[in-house]
Structure formats: structure tokens, C-alpha cells
Amino acid sequence: MTGLVLARLSFALSAGLSIALVVSALTRTAPQIRAPSPASARGALDADFTRQLNDAVQKAVAASEVRQARRLRDLLAAAERRNELEWQGVQENLEVEKKHTEQQMDDPAGSEGRPPSLLTWDYRPDR
């Protein structure tokens, strides 16, 4: 008989526990999901915007520096080509003057009998 009383008591305790679990589950409120406060959300958005803006500015500045370096390199190359052409022109003029001077030195009589230096630098204000 004590075995039967114990079995009934165990059954009653199990049923009470089950009912308590069901009632607790049904009456329990759902956990509240806390939305971020508007100030912190705005701060996060501002930080994200600032980061994106800084990234975009850095990329634009880098691209601009590349374009400027390329333009500077092209301008320097053009200036070097122009200087080289001018130098070649100066050398050609010197060669022509050298040949002309040699011809005059070879034939000073062909120039009215005066030396070449007087032909070039003959300055007489009294005439």
C-alpha cells in the first residue's frame, strides 16, 4: 500500500510541475529587443559616413596626384625635347659660323683686303 500511495503522490507532483511549466510559458512576456537609442544610431551613422567620405577623398587625392605626376612628367619630357632641339640649332649655327670664319681666314683679300675681325667689329663713329 505504501507503494501505491507513493506512486499517486509522484504522479500528482509531476502533474503539478507540468501545469506550472505550461502556465509559466504562457504567461511569460517575450524578451524585449532593445533598439539602439537614436543618439547612438546617429553617431554610428555619422562615423560610418565620415569614414566613407575620408576614404573617397583619399582615393580622389591619390588619383589627382597620379594625374599631376603624369602631367609633370609629360611637360618635363617636352621641355627636354625643346631644349635638345635648341641646343642642336645652336651647335649647327656654331658650325656654320666656324666654316664662315675659316673661309674668311683662308681668303682675307676677298673681303676688301681687311682682316675678318675688322669686318665684324668695325665701329667708327666719326664717319
Query: Which tens digit of pLDDT belongs to each residue from 60-80?
Result: 999 999 999 999 999 999 999
User: Pick the residue with more confidence: 2 or 46?
Assistant: 46
Tell me how far apart the alpha carbons of residues 84 and 37 are, in angstroms, rounded to a whole number.
70
Residues near 111 by Cβ (< 8 Å), separated by ≥ 6?
A: 104, 119
Mean pLDDT over 17-28 rounds to 86
| 110: pLDDT strictly greater than 70 | no
Q: What value does the mean pLDDT take over residues 28-36?
A: 73
Rounded distance between C-alpha atoms, residue 81 and residue 73, angstroms: 12
| Mean pLDDT along residues 92-105 | 86
Contact (Cβ atoms closer than 8 angstroms) between residue 100 and residue 107: no
The Cα 121–Cα 101 span in angstroms is: 13
For residue 23, what are the CA distances in angstroms to 13, 16, 19, 89, 122? 15, 11, 6, 106, 129
Distance CA 19, CA 13 (A): 10
